A and B are shown apart, each in its own frame.
Chain A
Amino acid sequence: MPSDHRRRAVRRSSLAAGIALGAALGAALALGCGAEGGGRVVDAGSGAVDVAVPRPSFTLTATDGTPFDFGAHTAGRLTFLEFGYTNCPDVCPVHMANLAAALRQLPPSDRMKIDVVFVSVDPDRDSLPALRKWLDAFDHTFIGLTGTRDALDSAQRAVGFAPAIVQPAAPGQPGSEVVTHAAPVLAFTADDTAHVMFPFGTRQADWERDIPHLLARARGRAAAAGGGARAGRTTGVSFTRVYLVAPAGDAPAALYLVARNDGAAPDSITGLDAGDLGTASVHMSMGDAKTGTMMMHAVQGVAVPAGGVVRFAPGGYHGVIGPLRRRVTRGDRIPVVIRLARGAPVSVTATVITYADVDTATAAR
Chain B
Amino acid sequence: MIAIVDYGMGNIRSVEKGFLKIGADAQITSDPKTIEGSAGIVLPGVGAFRDCMANLGKLELIDTLIKEIQKGKPFFGICLGLQLLFSESEEFGKCMGMDIFKGKVIRFDFKDSQKLKIPHMGWNTVRFVNRPPIFEGIPDNSYFYFVHSYHVVPEDKSIIAGVTNYGMDFVPMVWKDNVFATQFHPEKSQELGLKILKNFSSFVDKA
Indicate, yes or no, whether A interacts with B.
no
